[in-house]
Amino acid sequence: MTICILLAGGSGTRTGIDRPKQFLEVQGKPIFSYSLETLESMEEIDYIIIVVLETWKDYVEEWIHKLGYNKSKYIVHGGKSRQHSIYNGLIKAREFMKDDDIVMVHDAARPLLNRDVVRTAITMAEKTGAALPVVKENDALYMSKDDINVEQNLSKTGLYRGQTPVCVRFGDYYNLHTSAKDEDLTRATGSCTLLFQNNIKVAMVDGDEMTFKVTSKKDVIMFTGYLKIKEKTICTKTGEMKNRQHFELERD
């Protein structure tokens, strides 16, 4: 069994809009629904646990019903930190998951989820116990101590940008969270932090540049632009197909 914990409990408002970014509606649907749609369509995913702010629970339930999703059977409240939210999802998952099952953790604010990356990460986690999609860092990196002046450039060797979904063997991940102190969960800055702290190896798999996290107005513009281009491409291909069919009918 493989389940996904979809993290939609953040309250960040760096987009400058009066709602959390994952609930911003783009092209008629909230951002969180795009990755949810991908997960719902994948036969590799059995169930989805959505972690949300308590004040947005009704909104999420309304959209799940509206879009006809049936794998999103569980909604739990978010915690005071990212890792607490993950733990809340794991507690719910404990009710029906076995230790050797795979649990995925994905950011709802990463709407452009790549199915091939998901499948590869799941397969790798089944083999090794844990997997993280990453993208090689290609930009020049610089360091500043005062946030005013650039002091030196840093080597890019061995540097990667982590993405989601993180895939982990359920029993290992659950036990790490139950044994962690409250302050450890609060200080954890990423989905793999507890794994690193306990010397559990996390295998890398190739991520996708398009699985970026929507955190700013620029990201919203990029995501909206992508959807418009995709829609235009589909319309163009559909039009070409109709014209081709019309031509063939006339020729016959």
Find the CATH number of the domain harbouring 206: 3.90.550.10
Instruction: Say whether both 127 and 25 belong to one domain.
Output: yes
Instruction: Say whether both 91 and 177 belong to one domain.
Output: yes
End-to-end CA distance of the chain: give it in Å, rounded.
52
Q: How confident is the model at residue 237 (pLDDT cuts 50, 70, 90)?
A: low
Tokens found for residue 139: 């930009």
Report phi then psi at 205, rounded to 5.
-130, 155
Rounded CA-CA distance 22/237 in Å is 30
Rounded CA-CA distance 99/97 in Å is 7
Window from 34-43, 160-169, 204-213, 227-236 with minimum mean pLDDT: 227-236
pTM of the predicted model over 0.85: yes
Rounded CA-CA distance 49/90 in Å is 9
Domain residues for 83?
2-134+161-212
Instruction: Say whether both 77 and 54 belong to one domain.
Output: yes
Instruction: Say whether both 22 and 130 belong to one domain.
Output: yes
3-class DSSP assignment, residue 71: coil
Instruction: Say whether both 191 and 232 belong to one domain.
Output: no
Determine the average pLDDT of the residues in 148-169: 94
Instruction: Say whether both 87 and 198 belong to one domain.
Output: yes
DSSP label of 142: E
Instruction: Say whether both 187 and 71 belong to one domain.
Output: yes
Instruction: Say whether both 49 and 110 belong to one domain.
Output: yes
**Mean pLDDT: which of 6-15, 44-53, 133-142 is highest?**
44-53
Instruction: Say whether both 63 and 172 belong to one domain.
Output: yes
Measuring CA to CA, how many Å separate 80 from each of 48, 58, 188, 190, 214? 21, 20, 12, 14, 21
Q: What is the pLDDT of residue 249?
A: 40
How many residues in total does the chain contain? 252
